[in-house]
Chains A and B, each alone.
Chain A
């Protein structure tokens, strides 16, 4: 079956640091890949997505590249802000797109001023 593995936190960084949150997956074929963000006390927001190999999703300074050869979709940001503090979820959706999402366990990111 499908699965998503992401680094567990909390991850604590200083403001303006470079961010990488690792995400790898197991799935058949070429699933679609997603990053969602959950700010404290709020629901999930779609941050970015990629639907085929070598696609790069980007939004709000975050980016992630769909790497089929390493089955990875690592999230990066060049300079984080305190407002980026949240829980980040990597997720996948099977080929065909008729199913729901399979989520990783989430990475709690804390940015200190």
Chain B
């Protein structure tokens, strides 16, 4: 199974600042995804990140707020811009390895104060 590492694992951020989360996969993958999990809630897909093209965002999420990079087949970043307390969540990176086998990182737990 793919091993997905995220950094940072936790952070406390000041409102108005931006934070970039890194996601590293231990093998090349075509599709990577970013999700948000608000406290006590389910996961919501933010965007799909494919190498060589712009990320595809889900309804309610925009590039200016959540810019994503995908420079190669093993790495992606998600930036949470101009943070507010409502952005306090777990942000999870996931990647597909093999048909319909999707793995998740441990998540990045962000608290905005």
Q: How many residues on the B side are at the interface (Cβ–Cβ under 8 A)?
A: 22
Across the interface, which residues of A come within 8 angstroms of B99, CB to CB? 51, 97
The prevalent SS among residues of B at the interface is strand
Across the interface, which residues of B come within 8 angstroms of A101, CB to CB? 33, 43, 45, 94, 102
B53 located at the interface, meaning its Cβ lies under 8 Å from any Cβ of chain A in the complex: no
Partner-binding segment picked from B65-73, B74-82, B103-111? B103-111
Q: How many residues on the A side are at the interface (Cβ–Cβ under 8 A)?
A: 22
Across the interface, which residues of B come within 8 angstroms of A105, CB to CB? 41-42
A27 located at the interface, meaning its Cβ lies under 8 Å from any Cβ of chain B in the complex: no
Given A32-B100, A43-B106, A46-B102, check contact A100 B42 (CB 8 Å). Answer: no
Across the interface, which residues of A come within 8 angstroms of B106, CB to CB? 42-43
Q: 10 extra interchain contacts, Cβ-Cβ under 8 A, other than A51-B100, A89-B43?
A: A34-B102, A46-B101, A46-B104, A89-B42, A98-B48, A100-B45, A100-B58, A101-B43, A102-B45, A106-B41
